[in-house]
Structure 1
Amino acid sequence: MKFLQQMRCSSLVSIRNSSKSILAIETSFDNTAAAVIADGKILSNEIFDQVKYHNMTGGTDPRFAKSLHMRHLPKTVNKCLEHVNANFIGAVAVTTMPGREICLQVGLNYAKELCHAFNLPLIPVHHMRAHAVVARMCSDSIRYPFLTLLISGGHCLLAVAKSVDEFYLLGESIDIAPGHFLDCVANELGLAQMGEFKSKSGGAAIDQLALIGDPDKFSVNYKGIRISSKAPLNFSFSGVLAATKTAIWDFKSACSSQQRFEEWLPHIAAAAMRIVSRHLMHKLTRCMIFLHENSLNVNRTLVVSGGCASSKVLISDITKLCHLRSYSLHVPPPSLCIDNAVMIGYTAQERLNHGFEPIHCKNFDSILVDGFAKIGHDVTTKIRISKHITSNYNRLTRPEFSTANEINDLNTDQFVTNDFGCLL
C-alpha cells in the first residue's frame, strides 16, 4: 500500500474545478480493474482477468469471483498507482450497478475505505451506461443523443443515450445474453479444454473459430425467435440455444470420430455467430425504423460496446448494416469493450462535467449496490412498429438484396429533435 500512503489531502478541493485525477474501480463480475483518469486521458490502467481461473472450474461462479476480487483488488489498485502521482487523486469512482451484488459490494467497500482514509469524495457509476459513454473518449464526433447496443455475457440491450445520466431503454433480453449463448455453445464444444482457448472466454473462442468457418455448412433447426408485440425490440436467446445444443448433440452422435467433429468446429462456431448476428441486426433495423417513424433524433449514430463488441464477426456484420442504413458506427477498442475501470473513470468525469456533486464521507450510507438496475427509463412496452421488417440475413447486410430504404431518404437534419420523454 506504499503508493496509497501518498494520497494525503489536508483539505478537500472541488474535483470539478481542479486538475485532480479520478481513481476508478470496477468489480461488477469477473474482472478486477482499476484505472486513473484525468481530463479524458488514461494515466494508468490495470486489469486482473479472472477468465482462466473460472475456466478451470467449468464456469463463472459469483462466489469465486468475489473471493478473487477480495484477494486481488488491493494489489490491482496499488499497481495502478505505481504509474501516477497519487497526490493528484481528487476522487474515487466505483461501479455500484448493475452486476453481481456480492462482487459490486467488494469494490464499493474498498472504495469507501480509501475515501475515508484519504478524505476523498466518491462518485458512483452505472456499469452499462459507462460501456456506452466511454466511446466518447475514443471519438470527438459522438454527440448526445445517440443509439447504443450493449452486448456482453450478462446483458443485451438497446437504448438511447440522451446525456451521461439520462438513458431510455428500448429493448433488452428477456432471458439470456448473447455472450452467455456463445459461452454455452463453447462449453458444448469443449473449447475451454483445448490448449489455445484455455485463457479465452467462450465467446472469444467461438469468434476466433468462426473467422475460418462457413455458417452455411452447419444447420440449426429453429423457427425464428419470437418476441411479444408488446415489446418488439426485446431480445431472446434461450430458445435458439436449446436448438443449437440439440444440433450439436445430433451432429456429434453422427460423427465417425472425434477428429471429424473437431474438423467441423469452425463451421459450428460460424453458424452460432450467424444466429447471434442475425438476431441483433434484425432488432437494430427495427429500432432504426422506429426512431425514424417517430422523428426521434439520435444523430444517426450507433455505439456498440460490451464484451461481445470485441467480436470481429459481429462488428463486421453490424458495419454492413450501418452502411446500408446511413448510420455512423462507433466501437471502442477491445480493451475498453471488456469490463474495465477506464470506462468507470471517464463516465465519472463526464458526470462531474454534467453537474453531478460527488458524495462525501458523511453521506456514504446513501450509496448502495443494485444488481438489477435498469440503464434508464424503461420504454420497452411503449414501442410500436407498423411495418414488417425482414430477418433475412442477406437483406439485412447486402444492398443488392435490401428492400427497406425508407430511412435512408432523409438527412439527419430533417429529424425533429423530440424529447424522448414523450415515450414515458
Structure 2
Amino acid sequence: MRVLGIESSCDETGVAIYDMEKGLLAHRLFSQIAMHAEYGGVVPELASRDHIRKTLPLIEEVLDAASLTTADIDAVAYTAGPGLAGALLVGAAIGRSLAWALNIPALAVNHMEGHLLSPLLEVPAPAFPFVSLLVSGGHTQLVDVRGIGQYELLGESIDDAVGEAFDKTAKLLGMDYPGGPYLAAKAEQGVADRFVFPRPMTNRPGLDFSFSGLKTFAMNTWMETEQSDQDKADIALAFQTAVVETLAIKCKRALKQTGHKRLVVAGGVSANKALRQKLDSMKGVDVFYPRQQFCSDNGAMIAFAGAMRHQAMKHQEIPSFTVRPRWPLNELSPP
C-alpha cells in the first residue's frame, strides 16, 4: 500500500510517498522562511497562498522521483490540525479532492501524531511503549505512548512552547528569524557559567513546563550588559543550557513515573545538538530521534502516520471534510 502525505499546517509545504513494504519512496519540502523573515514571523494569509502555489507542483515532483503516477497511490493523508486554519484547508482540500478523483481513501492526520511517530521511520525504530518528548514552535509535551492512538498526556507547557521561547529570546537579542537555530549557533561561542539562568518548575513535583520566565530573565540580563557580541553568545548559552537541563529533568521524571526505558524526541527543537547530547547522556535509557531533515514539519511523517492508521482501521469514507486548528493528542483514539 502506498500513501501520499501532504503537510501544510504552517509555513512549510511537505509532500511524500510512503510504501508499507518498501518504506519511504520520495519526499519534497518547500520552506517559506525567506518570505516570512521580512515580517519577523509567519503571516497566515501569505502562508496559505504559498501552499496553494506549491502543493500540486510538489506532488508532481514526488511522483516523478518515485517513478509513479497517481494511479499507483492507494490513499492520501493530509494534516487536518493543529495548525493555521487557512494553511490546513489548502492541504485538506487538495488531499480530499485528489482522493475523491482517484476513488481512494483520504486520511485526516493529526500533525503532532505525525511528529510523535516520525522516529519510527528510522532504523532501528523504537518499539512501544515509550515516553515521547514533543518540542516544537507551538508545543512542548511529554506523552506516554503505548501504541498508535494510545496516548496519555503527562505534562505540557503552561505558557510559551520551547521553540517559541527560543525564537522570542533570539529576537530580543537581535537575531534573524527564525531565531532558534541562530541562538543555538551563537551559544556555541558562549562562555559557560558566566550567566546562570533558573530551571523553571523543576523544584516542584509534576511534569508541566514554563518557559516565558526564561525569556524575561534573558531580556533583563541582556539589558544589564554592554550588549557586546560576547554578551549575546554568553546569554544564548545560558538560556539554552537552562532549557536543555529543564527538559532533561522532566524527561527523567516521566520515565521513572511510567517505568519505560525508551524516550522518543521529536519536533523542530529535537534537532538541537545540545539537547541531543544531554538526553543521550542519560543512563539506562534508549533515546530515539527523527533524522535532522524530519525534525521540522514534513510530508514524510504525515504519509507514515496515515499509513499506520489506515493499515489498522476499517476505513469509512465521508464526502465532507474539516480542519482543527486546535486538536489535542489526547483526543485521538486507537484505529
TM-score where L is the length of structure 2 = 0.92
Correspondent of 1:370 among 321, 324, 330: 324
CA distance in 2, matches of 1:69, 1:332: 24
CA distance in 2, matches of 1:228, 1:93: 42
Paired residue type of 2:181? A
SS at 2:41's partner residue?
coil
Paired residue type of 1:115? A
Correspondent of 1:156 among 129, 140, 145: 140
Q: Conserved in 1, the CA contact under 8 Å of 2:108 and 2:306?
A: yes
CA distance in 2, matches of 1:226, 1:218: 19
CA distance in 2, matches of 1:137, 1:67: 30
Structure-2 residue corresponding to 1:389:
none
Correspondent of 1:236 among 199, 202, 210: 210
Structure-2 residue corresponding to 1:24:
5
- Tell me whether 1:76 sits opposite 2:76 in the alignment: no
CA distance in 1, matches of 2:249, 2:255: 10
Shift of 1:219: 4.3
For this pair of structures, how many residues does the alignment match?
A: 329
Alignment of 1:175-324 (within 5 A): 175-192=159-176, 201-220=178-197, 224-226=199-201, 232-251=206-225, 254-255=226-227, 261-292=228-259, 298=260, 300-320=261-281, 322-323=282-283
Instruction: Mark the structure with the bigger radius of gyration.
Output: 1
**RMSD of the TM alignment (CA)?**
2.1
Structure-1 residue corresponding to 2:130:
146
Paired residue type of 2:209? F
| Residue deviations 1:312-358 (CA, integer Å, cap 9, x gap) | 011111111x22xx1100111111111001011111111123x2133
CA distance in 2, matches of 1:364, 1:244: 51
Paired residue type of 1:234? D
Tell me whether 55-64 or 305-314 shows the greater mean CA deviation.
55-64
Alignment of 1:404-415 (within 5 A): none
Tell me whether 118-127 or 171-180 shows the greater mean CA deviation.
118-127
Shift of 1:217: 1.9
Shift of 1:128: 1.0
Q: Conserved in 1, the CA contact under 8 Å of 2:29 and 2:298?
A: yes
Closer, same or farther: CA 28–167 of 1 in aligned 2, 3 Å: same
Alignment of 1:322-341 (within 5 A): 322-323=282-283, 326-341=284-299
CA distance in 1, matches of 2:93, 2:131: 33
CA distance in 1, matches of 2:138, 2:231: 28
Alignment of 1:56-205 (within 5 A): 56-84=38-66, 85-86=68-69, 87-192=71-176, 201-205=178-182
Q: Which runs of 5+ in 1 are unaligned?
A: 1-19, 193-199, 256-260, 293-297, 379-424
Paired residue type of 1:209? K
CA distance in 2, matches of 1:66, 1:215: 42
Closer, same or farther: CA 377–126 of 1 in aligned 2, 3 Å: closer
Q: Conserved in 1, the CA contact under 8 Å of 2:3 and 2:75?
A: yes
CA distance in 2, matches of 1:73, 1:141: 29
SS at 1:104's partner residue?
helix
CA distance in 1, matches of 2:183, 2:246: 17
Shift of 1:92: 0.3
Shift of 1:227: 8.0
Runs of 4+ in 1 over 6 A off after TM superposition: none
CA distance in 1, matches of 2:142, 2:29: 27
| Residue deviations 1:235-255 (CA, integer Å, cap 9, x gap) | 11112211211211222xx34
CA distance in 1, matches of 2:236, 2:203: 29
Paired residue type of 2:96? K
Closer, same or farther: CA 317–89 of 1 in aligned 2, 3 Å: same
CA distance in 1, matches of 2:194, 2:166: 18
Q: Which has the higher contact order (CA 8 A, sep 6+)?
A: 2
Closer, same or farther: CA 364–211 of 1 in aligned 2, 3 Å: farther
Q: Conserved in 2, the CA contact under 8 Å of 1:169 and 1:377?
A: no
CA distance in 2, matches of 1:138, 1:119: 31
Correspondent of 1:38 among 7, 16, 19: 19
CA distance in 2, matches of 1:103, 1:250: 41
Paired residue type of 1:277? V
Paired residue type of 1:103? A
Q: Conserved in 2, the CA contact under 8 Å of 1:216 and 1:271?
A: yes
Q: What is the identity percentage for the equivalent residue pairs of Structure 1 and Structure 2?
A: 28
Shift of 1:174: 1.0
TM-score where L is the length of structure 1 = 0.73
SS at 2:120's partner residue?
helix
CA distance in 2, matches of 1:70, 1:78: 14
